[in-house]
Amino acid sequence: MNGTPRIVVLAGDGIGPEIVAAARQVLDALGEFSYEEQLMGGCSIDEHGTALTDEVLEACRSADAVLLGAVGGPKWDTTDPNAPRPEQGLLGLRKGMGLYANLRPVRPSPALVGASPLREERIAGTDLLVVRELTGGIYFGDSGRDGDVAHDTCEYSAEEIDRIARTAFDAARRRAESSGRKPKVTSVDKANVLETSRLWREVVGRVAGDYEDVELEHLLVDNAAMQLVSRPADFDVVLSENLFGDILSDEAAMLTGSLGMLPSASLGADGAPGLFEPVHGSAPDIAGQGVANPLATFLSAAMMLRHGLSRGEDAARIEAAVDAVLERGLRTPDLASGTVVQPPTSENPAPEREVGTEEMTAAVLAELA
């Protein structure tokens, strides 16, 4: 990429401004970036009466990448179908930027294996990627209510399924190059009940013919939900439609013990800017207290460097720095509670110490330096 990368920053609501500000410090330690701050989500509703303005969408389209904090909160919760909601901004961004593929890597940090609700031996070796279709399905179908009757329509075209399937198969190939494992795609559907799922399975099967080196398995979504917690290390790339992917990616996220550790990337056609954001929510209950976990945002910035700005080496530096501070025992409050807190052992001699957003950021910056 020529010149200084242009990044639109959407800090959003709740802890969003805190964690994005911390991520900017990490990025600035790696090079020069041009930032353009814009409003999206609840803060945009307060300022403009809508979660996403046309001007902000256009700014995102013309940027090199978009970094998002978090949106939403009780202040804007409503059951009124005509009232603006922060989440509409996120859906509008995905649709308006053509971001049809959401990538969520799930790899428990070695220092946090005790944080998982599953036994350590069950999650050992887990390193999977959820590839979720973002712009089709029930979230974007016709919906409405007539008295006591409501409907939400799920629609998919063969073209939409084909392009997300190829994203998943390509990702499996790339992962195999670095891991040495045989590439595998697990396609999730409900083909025993839903016509959209039967089309999904048919199209994914056709695409697989162009990737003979990649193993393909089909799982019904209810079975996939069980297998994710019973044998997570057996998964490589999990391919899913919008609704199922939304649910399964959050389930897979808890294998790590904390949503505060997981990044994501939303990508479109080659050359189009991507959207990079932590998986967790806006956590309004801790906003402004200086205790928010910034690590998922740091890892999202790493995904932005790798997938959006072609700076893989810098991405790897952030990821290594995050692992290093966790190995040293530093924990934000979300990681230093319950079963996460462990006394020093011969295998993990560093005692755990609870820190806030500022100290965790300073520790990562020190590792980068």
- Compute the CA torsion angle 125, 238, 72, 48 (nearest 10 deg): 130
Give the span between the Cα atoms of 248 and 188, in whole angstroms: 10
Angle at 354 between CA 352 and CA 338, to 5 degrees: 75
DSSP 352: P
Statement to judge: residues 164 and 188 lie in one domain: yes
Token pair recorded at residue 165: 């399937």
Q: Is 58 exposed, middle or buried (0-12, 13-18, 19+ CB in 10 A)?
A: exposed
Q: Tell me, what's the pLDDT at 258?
A: 67
For the entire predicted model, the pTM comes to 0.86
Domain membership of residue 75 (yes or no) is yes
Domain membership of residue 106 (yes or no) is no
Q: Tell me, what's the pLDDT at 349?
A: 52
DSSP states of 337-351 as a string? SGGG-----SS--SP
Statement to judge: residues 230 and 357 lie in one domain: no
Mean pLDDT for each consecutive 10-residue tract of the chain (369 residues)? 90 97 98 97 97 98 97 90 91 92 89 76 87 94 95 97 97 88 96 98 98 97 96 95 94 76 91 92 94 96 94 94 94 70 50 92 97
Statement to judge: residues 165 and 132 lie in one domain: yes
Q: Tell me, what's the pLDDT at 1?
A: 60
Q: What is the pLDDT of residues 212-239, one digit of tens each?
A: 999 999 999 999 999 999 999 999 999 9
Statement to judge: residues 133 and 250 lie in one domain: yes
Which residue among the candidates 13, 189, 190, 314 is catalytic per the annotation?
190
**Residue type for 155, please?**
E
Domain count of the fold of the chain:
2
Domain membership of residue 110 (yes or no) is no
Statement to judge: residues 25 and 7 lie in one domain: yes
Domain membership of residue 108 (yes or no) is no
Statement to judge: residues 89 and 141 lie in one domain: no
Q: How far is CA 297 from CA 10, 33, 234, 264, in A?
A: 12, 16, 27, 9
The domain boundary, picked from 199, 227, 256, lies at 256
Statement to judge: residues 121 and 239 lie in one domain: yes
Statement to judge: residues 61 and 1 lie in one domain: yes
* 210 in active site: no
Domain membership of residue 308 (yes or no) is yes
* 246 in active site: yes
Given a contact cutoff of 8 angstroms between Cβ atoms, the answer to whether 295 and 360 are in contact is yes
Angle at 87 between CA 84 and CA 92, to 5 degrees: 90
Given a contact cutoff of 8 angstroms between Cβ atoms, the answer to whether 312 and 174 are in contact is no
Which residue among the candidates 100, 139, 156, 211 is catalytic per the annotation?
139
Q: What is the pLDDT of residues 52-68, one digit of tens each?
A: 999 999 999 999 999 99
Sequence-separated contacts (24+) of 305-308 with Cβ below 8 Å: 305/27, 305/30, 307/103, 307/265, 307/267, 307/274, 307/276, 308/64, 308/65, 308/265, 308/273, 308/274, 308/276
Which residue among the candidates 127, 170, 234, 250 is catalytic per the annotation?
250
What residue numbers bound the domain in which 209 lies? Answer: 117-256
Statement to judge: residues 234 and 267 lie in one domain: no
**Length of the chain, please?**
369
Statement to judge: residues 267 and 363 lie in one domain: yes
Domain membership of residue 351 (yes or no) is yes
Q: Give the CATH number for residue 19.
A: 3.40.718.10
Q: Whose CA is closest to 183, among 160, 200, 208?
A: 208
**Residue type for 52, please?**
L
Q: Tell me, what's the pLDDT at 343?
A: 46
* 334 in active site: no
Q: What is the 3-state secondary structure (H, E, C) of 170-234?
A: HHHHHHHHHHCCCCEEEEEECCCCCHHHHHHHHHHHHHHCCCCCCEEEEEEHHHHHHHHHHCHHH
Domain membership of residue 24 (yes or no) is yes
Give the span between the Cα atoms of 12 and 34, in whole angstroms: 19
Q: Is the dihedral of CA 195, 196, 202, 205 positive or negative?
A: negative
The domain boundary, picked from 201, 235, 256, lies at 256
**Residue type for 231, please?**
R
Statement to judge: residues 291 and 361 lie in one domain: yes
* 236 in active site: no
Q: Is the dihedral of CA 163, 270, 250, 115 positive or negative?
A: positive
Domain membership of residue 151 (yes or no) is yes
Three-state DSSP state, 269: coil
Q: What is the pLDDT of residues 247-286, one digit of tens each?
A: 998 888 778 766 678 899 999 987 889 999 998 889 999 9
Statement to judge: residues 226 and 285 lie in one domain: no
Q: Tell me, what's the pLDDT at 257?
A: 67
The domain boundary, picked from 213, 240, 256, lies at 256
* 64 in active site: no
Q: Tell me, what's the pLDDT at 348?
A: 53
Which residue among the candidates 28, 210, 222, 285 is catalytic per the annotation?
222
Q: Whose CA is closest to 284, among 79, 71, 37?
A: 71
